[in-house]
Amino acid sequence: MKIGIIGLPYSGKTTFYKSLKAVDQSEDKQARGKTSSSIIKVPDERLDYLTQVFNPKRKVHATLEVADFMGDKDPEIPTFNNKFSTVAKNFDAFILIVRGFEDPTIPHIKATIDIERDIKTFLEDAALFDLSFLEKRIENIEKELNRSKNKEQIIKTREILRKWYEKLLSGSLLFDLELTKEELLLQKNYQLLTLKPLIIAVNFSEDSISSSSLIINNLREKFKIKNISIEPFFAKIEYELSQLNEEETKEFMENFGLEEPALSRLLRTTYELLGLQSFFTVGEDECRAWTIKKGMTAQEAAGVIHSDFYQKFIRAEVVHFDDFKVCGSFAKCKEKGVFRLEGKDYLVQDGDIMHIRHN
């Protein structure tokens, strides 16, 4: 899964990106032009707990690839230029950083701080980007249609694209569309921005922690759109947090009245919007968090671990993390009757600890 961090210049994107990286000490995978990207480990307290219990040789986190885009300093350049359109299609979701902090020494491209304006402008620009993309695509399809023998498929595609185009033209965004399987496949090949989940992360300064939740609630009312989630975060604090050890982190968060690092929350939200969930495998060698789509069966999940496990699947031994935590050991789980044997059609739940029995 690939997540892009986007937004206006000086909104805090790189500060955010750096704290993600620092937390996990992962390395830059590549620095392509102005965009750097890295694989980051998804923080998960459940995995931390399991690692404490099993003391394995290896602890393997779920990962996400995150890329940090640079905002264009020229206000005349549209938010999404051609360069952006060529990379956008490789991403599964975007995190839009919106500036909510005042700092006279750091310029805002529009001179004033106005969170609502910036979100609105972004959504309008995104809609225009999608409209112009669809317009070109539909034009090309008309040409293809004249040449091609397999007209049926192309006509189907054209129908879908026209439907999306009309929706945008009427002033709506595509975020709330329920996609059919066919549309989902089509969407994968395109860089339509308003079809991808969006996390809007408002970057507040440390002195507005207490007022931020009211502002966020208001924004959530105003931009109540399916597949968009609006979250507060505090880039500067997060960055400082990412430089501290566990104990210092606790103390620091208590001082600021924070319950959970915003990074964990943001990544969890991203997971939810992408329809992802985690299951765990545990043992002396390795404790590991695996990422799967919600609605996957035990057999499909086994296939994520190893394709052989899919073919040769017999049963899954399953304990939910919450039950395990109460019991403390598998033996106790069996005693309490929360240790289950599930067949190939069992729908895996977020937080399941699984052991796959196979041939």
Ligand X SMILES: Nc1nc2c(ncn2[C@@H]2O[C@H](COP(=O)(O)OP(=O)(O)OP(=O)(O)O)[C@@H](O)[C@H]2O)c(=O)[nH]1
- What is d(CA 330, CA 333) in angstroms, rounded to the nearest whole number? 5
Task: Determine contact, residues 66/37, Cβ cutoff 8 Å.
Answer: yes
Nearest residue to Mg ion by CB is 14
List the interface residues with Mg ion, window 41-70 (CB under 5 A): none
DSSP 91-104: -SEEEEEEE----T
Asked if 79 touches ligand X (CB under 6 A), the answer is: no
- What is d(CA 122, CA 127) in angstroms, rounded to the nearest whole number? 9
Q: Which residues contact 164 (CB under 8 A, 6 or more apart)?
A: 130, 134, 174, 177, 192, 195
The strand pairing partners of 64, in sequence order, are 40
- What is d(CA 119, CA 64) in angstroms, rounded to the nearest whole number? 25
Stretch that binds ligand X, among 3-11, 36-44, 136-144, 315-323 (CB under 6 A): 3-11
Please count the residues of this chain forming the interface with Mg ion, following the rule CB under 5 A. 2
Q: What is the x/- site pattern for Mg ion, positions 6-45, by CB under 5 A? A: -------xx-------------------------------
Q: What is the x/- site pattern for ligand X, positions 232-251, by CB under 6 A? A: ---xx---------------
Q: Out of 3, 11, 47, 98, name the contact with ligand X by CB under 6 A.
A: 11
Q: What is the x/- site pattern for ligand X, positions 29-68, by CB under 6 A? A: ----------------------------------------
List the interface residues with Mg ion, window 286-345 (CB under 5 A): none
Residue 9 binding target from Mg ion, ligand X, none, CB below 5 to 8 Å by type? ligand X
Stretch that binds ligand X, among 10-18, 20-28, 139-147, 174-182 (CB under 6 A): 10-18
Task: Determine contact, residues 341/316, Cβ cutoff 8 Å.
Answer: yes
Please count the residues of this chain forming the interface with ligand X, following the rule CB under 6 A. 17
Task: Determine contact, residues 301/355, Cβ cutoff 8 Å.
Answer: no
Residue 340 binding target from ligand X, Mg ion, none, CB below 5 to 8 Å by type? none
- What is d(CA 322, CA 319) in angstroms, rounded to the nearest whole number? 8
